[in-house]
Chain A
Amino acid sequence: MFEIDAAGIYYRDLNARIREALAKGEKEVTVRNVNGQYYIGDGLSGNATIVLEGVPGNDLAAFMDGPTIRIKSNAQDNIGNTMNAGKVIIEGNAGDVLGYGMRGGKLHILGDVGYRIGIHMKGNKKQSPTIIVGGTAGDFFGEYLAGGLLILLGLKPDGPIVGDYLGTGMHGGTIFVRGEVDKKNCGAEVGILDPDEDDMKVLKNALTEYCADLGLDIKEVMSKKFKKLVPVSSRPYGNLYAY
Chain B
Amino acid sequence: MFKSLAPPEYLATIDREKCIRCKRCIQNCGWGVYSWGGDKIVINTSKCVKCLRCYHYCPEEAIEIVDNPTKFKNNAYWGFHNIRNIKRQAETGGIPLTGMGSDLPYTILFDNLLIDACQVTNPSIDPLREPMELRTYLGKKPSSVELEKGKDGKPRLKDRMPPQIKIEVPIIFSPMSFGSISLNAQKVLAHAARECGILMNTGEGGLHEDLLPYKDNIIVQVASGRFGVNPEYLNAGVAVEIKIGQGAKPGIGGHLPGEKIPLEVARTRMIPVGTDALSPAPQHDIYSIEDLRQLIYAIKEATNYKPVSVKIAAVHNVAAIASGIVRAGADIVYLDGFRGGTGAAPSIIRDHLGIPIEYAIAAVDDRLRQEGIRNEASIIAAGGIRSSADAAKALALGADSVAIATAALITMGCTTCGKCYTGNCSWGITTQRPELTARLDPEIYADRLVNLIHAWTHELKEILGALGINAVESLRGNRERLRGVGLDTQTLDILGVKPAGR
Contacts and interface: CB of A to CB of B under 8 A. Distances in A.
| B partners with A | yes
Interface of A: 12, 15, 38-39, 42-43, 45, 58-59, 62-65, 77-78, 81-82, 84, 97, 100-101, 103, 116, 119-120, 122-124, 140, 143-144, 146-147, 169, 171-172, 234-243
24 contacts: A39-B298, A43-B234, A63-B231, A63-B298, A63-B299, A78-B294, A81-B285, A81-B298, A97-B284, A122-B226, A124-B266, A146-B272, A147-B270, A169-B278, A172-B272, A234-B275, A235-B275, A235-B276, A237-B255, A241-B97, A241-B257, A242-B92, A242-B95, A243-B422
Given A241-B255, A243-B92, 12 more contacts: A43-B301, A58-B294, A63-B229, A63-B299, A64-B231, A81-B298, A84-B230, A100-B284, A103-B229, A146-B278, A235-B275, A242-B92
B312 to A, nearest CB: 20
B297 interface: yes
A85 to B, nearest CB: 9
B96 interface: yes
B91 interface: yes
A240 B301 contact: no
Size category of the B interface is 35 or more
Given A63-B229, A78-B294, A124 B267 contact: yes
B230 A63 contact: yes
B294 A43 contact: no
Contact of B97 (A81, A84, A172, A243): A243
A205 B41 CA distance: 61
Contacts of A237: 255, 276, 278
Contacts of A77: 285
B92 A38 contact: no
A78 B258 contact: no
B229 A101 contact: yes
Contacts of B499: none
A147 B255 contact: no
A218 B284 CA distance: 33
B201 interface: no
B226 A82 contact: yes
Contacts of B474: none
A69 B272 CA distance: 30
Nearest to B344: A241
Nearest to B96: A242
Interface string B91-134: 11111110000000000000000000000000000000000000
Given A38-B294, A144-B278, A235-B276, A78 B285 contact: yes
Nearest to A40: B301
Interface string B213-237: 0000000001011110111101000
Interface of B: 88-89, 91-97, 222, 224-227, 229-232, 234, 255, 257-258, 266-267, 269-272, 274-276, 278, 280, 284-285, 294-295, 297-299, 301-303, 346, 421-422
A124 B272 CA distance: 7
A101 B346 CA distance: 25
B302 A43 contact: yes
A39 B301 contact: yes
A62 B280 CA distance: 19
A143 B285 CA distance: 13
A103 B230 contact: yes
Contacts of B226: 82, 100-101, 103, 120, 122
B271 A116 contact: no
Contacts of A38: 294, 297-298
A103 B270 CA distance: 8
B486 to A, nearest CB: 38
Contact of A171 (B89, B227, B276): B276
B276 A238 contact: yes
B425 to A, nearest CB: 14
Nearest to A148: B270
A160 to B, nearest CB: 22
B95 A241 contact: yes
Given A65-B231, A101-B226, A103-B270, A241 B94 contact: yes
Contacts of A62: 298, 301-302
Given A124-B267, A243-B422, A42 B278 contact: no
Contacts of B303: 43
